Structure 1
Amino acid sequence: MTNMNKKDIQSALNERKGWQVWWRLLRPHTLTAAFVPVFIGTMLASLEESINFPLFSAMLFASILIQAATNMFNEYYDYVRGLDTEQSIGIGGTIVRDGISPKTVLGLALGFFGIAILLGVYICIATTWWIAAIGAISMAFGYLYTGGPYPIAYTPFGEVVAGFFMGTVIIGISYYIQTLSLSISVLFVSLPVAILIGAILLANNIRDLEGDKQNGRNTIAILLGKRGAIQFLKVLFIAAYSSVGIYIALGILPIWSAIVLLALPKTIGAIQVFKSGDTPLEMMPAMKYTAQTNTIFGFLLGISILIQLLIPLSI
């Protein structure tokens, strides 16, 4: 890996010029972590109320913008701190490999935050201004994840913070703005989603373990070591799937939610690739499989709730 130059890296990662530079900057494989919670929260709300699609669209777009902006802050601050190089895997690479100005990346991130704030104002006008306080806190943590003097991403708490805000908080808000209420069952259902979002960050940190260690980070993957981190990732996967089974047994989720098991091949693939891979490039597919697990699992979970809503209408 260290002997590969910029062109070798770009070729290995199939990085192309043109519009794809800006697409990579968004880190599209992470954006499903914004879509899935909004979708699930809204589907849960559909069991109680008819869906307000303008509110759903505003919440979805705002969540995606905040996730994309967080990715850009990551790109910018890792570059400023000298952590990203031409050989870095798993980044957008727009600064270190494509020559995009760091100020441009930072400006785009702030612009995305600005649009998200405007969407948040619309949501607050239609519902309650308490959403503004929760949204402001979430955006602050999105910035502080890699920004500020003590970035959360460099600590053992990155997975927990990301899972809580991107999973539980977004599902809760998405449900609340549709129903103007909140129930304990919604918080329960948010847990497997939060766990899998945390798993995406853990997978990222397993892949980057050696480089992060050299750069002074102290992620949970570094604390556990590669083997221990892979075992922990496995525990997270088991917890996510098991919780769905428990919720089905308790009547919190419909029997249809068992379709989340269709995501298992991606889950198993992630663990297998991490066990066999040694370099960040070799472990890249495991990161992809983990993100796909979250996408497929979350989408199917939301679909199962929609099925529960529609089936009585067809009887």
Structure 2
Amino acid sequence: MAEKTFFEPKKSLNIKGKLVDLSTPKIMGILNITPDSFYSNSRTNSIDQALTKAEQFINEGATFIDIGGYSSRPGAKDISEDEELGRLVPVIEKLVETFPEILISVDTFRARVAEESISAGAHIINDISAGDLDEKMFETVARLNVPYIMMHMQGTPQNMQTHPYYKNVLLEVIDYLAKKVADLKALHVHDVIIDPGFGFGKTIEHNYELLNHLEDFKIFKLQVLVGFSRKGMIHKVLETSAAEALNGTTVLNTIALQKGASILRVHDVKEAVECVKLVERLAG
């Protein structure tokens, strides 16, 4: 693999002219506007519930709120663009009105949903498919000139956990992301964050192989986001449940921070903020 990388090292994101410093890792709180996300306590069923949860995240120290209207859990129901937008846009507009300093990422793989969410006040696009599920996504990101989180996923949310297979999961994920970064560079997209995609088209063994080598993603000289929060790679190993997986989540978040992760995407903001503080104190 070539030593040269596509982007110069970046420690900040440019969000509508505001620089967000990532030299200290930041927390992204998960706000699901869905009835079927895998962790039931993350679901919100009304704008008021979403506002309450967002206020809690802000008070606990979240830098970003990640809003999703399409459940990406394994085997999730497919919904239309219009239904996804109907869930997202009213919440985004109300969040921006209520908390004008809030930084919102929209969790979607659809270019139209991404564009209308940005128009409603969101700031970042978080795409679980890295453009694979909508060929218009990359050109949309380039035109909107917003930060882009791209994740590796094998398959789709409906089939991704049906016998995922790799000859070498680390090399295949890195190679996949390298091609995507090159495509984005050609479109002059400058603020890119990479997500290895824990739990998306990967067995438990694949997930831990990626975590064990997370520092290898530094080859991109881009910021890395990780999302382990309460996932099966934790509670299946511990033989518990998502509801009982907070301690395991904190353990893996700690390891990821020590291996260079810049953003933790979590259901439990307070505990993740504490994790960052302690790891930073240890480092120095």
Pick the TM interval, shorter chain.
0.3 to 0.5
Higher helix share: 1
- Greater Rg by CA: 1
TM-score (structure 1 length as normaliser):
0.31
Higher strand share: 2
